[in-house]
Amino acid sequence: MTIKKILILSANPKDTNKLRLDEEVRNIQAALKRAKNREQFEIVTEWAVRVEDLRRALLDHQPTIVHFSGHGLGTTGLILENNLGKRQLVSSESLARLFKLFQKKIECVLLNACYSEVQADAIYQHIDCVIGMNRSIGDVAAMEFSVGFYDALGAGNSYDDCFEVGCASIDLEGIPESETPVLKFRPRLPQALDQETEPQTNTEEDYTMPEKNSQPRNNGGITQSVSGGTVHGGMQSAIGNSNQQTMTTQAAPTAKQPTKEEVIQMLAEIEQMISSAELPTDTKQEAIMYLGAAKIATVKAEPNKALIASNLGGMAETLQNASQNKTLWEKAKPVLLKVTDWLGQAVAGSLLGILVK
């Protein structure tokens, strides 16, 4: 069983407004303590964090999730402490450079600080899930978001779903701040974790980058920017220029091929199968992550079928290897075979290879 280590960093210098950070940390610990998957998480807390403490905490603990609670000043930076307990600003650029060193380990960064969207944008160049605040956020709203987020995490939800639960938690308390948290998110595809981050070579027709985000590294997944439940974003390709070369070999549509609308319905059917199946949390999240990338690519005006086939292949391998539920794989196979008719054999060759094993 993989343990996700959550590193909670808190800073409330003497010359800043007093925050209820101890209460927030206590509530997060309580949320995970009562979670059904509590054995999958370990919490480490660091208080009165200075610049050197931040660096050392990341090196010493190698966390999966980093949670910062404190003050932010937008473009000026996040506020940590100096050796006298007073404020010391850390720039967005410095944070981005530091988190780049941990991009293969850290999955999510949550900046629970006012005006921290600027830092979230910078860190998102290297980390696949980052949450910041687009304006000032009150103590109560910040705590409600955190508790909702970690309640959902402890229940086995994906990071983007945890974000939505956090926003909903603010709403449920009648606090008009649910639009303040902002999510920068792209699913982490396993085959991309060991790839070097090279400049993108895809043309603009292949994907649309979010306007507010710096260009993220090539990870082969969905890129999203969410504020209060609104999603903006596009698709990145994990197979580079080979997309263009492969697409030229696609077979011409025939009368027997399903339409794009029918394929979208088929993918929704598979998603329902996976969601309702008894699977380990990590397996289910990985399969839905691949499927989500394929669905986003499919609904585009000019679907990139090579990219769709690649992501469906990842999903198929995940389901095929799920020894806990062979029935799910047997149900999904015939639906995927129909999808390959639409993709064309030249594009869906690797996917077909998995399906006919």
Report, as an integer, the average pLDDT of 217-224. 39
pLDDT at 239 over 50: no
Which is more confidently placed, 76 or 66? 66
Instruction: State the pLDDT at residue 235.
Output: 33
pLDDT band, residue 60 (cuts 50/70/90):
very high
At 293-329, the pLDDT tens digits run: 888 888 888 888 888 888 888 888 888 877 566 788 8
pTM: 0.57
Task: Quote the CA–CA distance of 199 and 97 in Å, as a whole number.
Answer: 17
Instruction: State the pLDDT at residue 144.
Output: 96
Which is more confidently placed, 303 or 213? 303
State the pairing for strand pair 222-227/230-235: antiparallel
133 close to 113: Cβ distance less than 8 angstroms = yes
Instruction: State the pLDDT at residue 323.
Output: 59
Boundaries of every domain in the chain: 4-185, 243-355
Q: CATH second-level architecture of 4-185? A: 3-Layer(aba) Sandwich (3.40)
